[in-house]
Amino acid sequence: MFSSARRCLLFGMLFLGASLAGCGQRPLTRLRTLAGCPWCAPHKQVQVGDRSQGKSFYGDIWKRFWIDDHGNEYDPEQVSQQVWTYLTQVGEAAKIDQTRKTGACSSQMRIVSVNPVVVLLEPCQHRRFDPAKGLVGHGTKLAQELAYTPESDMYFDEPMQWLSPDLNTGPTLITFSPEGIATIPLKSGQLRLVREGERCKVTRE
Residue range 158-194, pLDDT digits in tens: 889 999 999 999 999 999 999 999 999 999 899 999 9
E strands present in 82-189: 108-114, 117-122, 154-155, 160-164, 169-174, 181-185
Cα 158 from Cα 17, distance rounded (Å)? 51
Contacts of 53 (CB under 8 A, 6+ apart): 20, 60, 61, 62, 63
Q: Residue 22: pLDDT band by 50, 70, 90 thresholds?
A: very low
Provide the mean pLDDT of the chain.
Answer: 80
Q: Residue 1: pLDDT band by 50, 70, 90 thresholds?
A: very low
Q: What is the pLDDT of residues 124-167, one digit of tens each?
A: 765 555 555 444 455 677 788 888 888 899 888 888 999 999 99
Contact 52, 168 (CB under 8 A): no
Query: pTM for the complete prediction?
Result: 0.78
Give the mean pLDDT of 29-47: 90
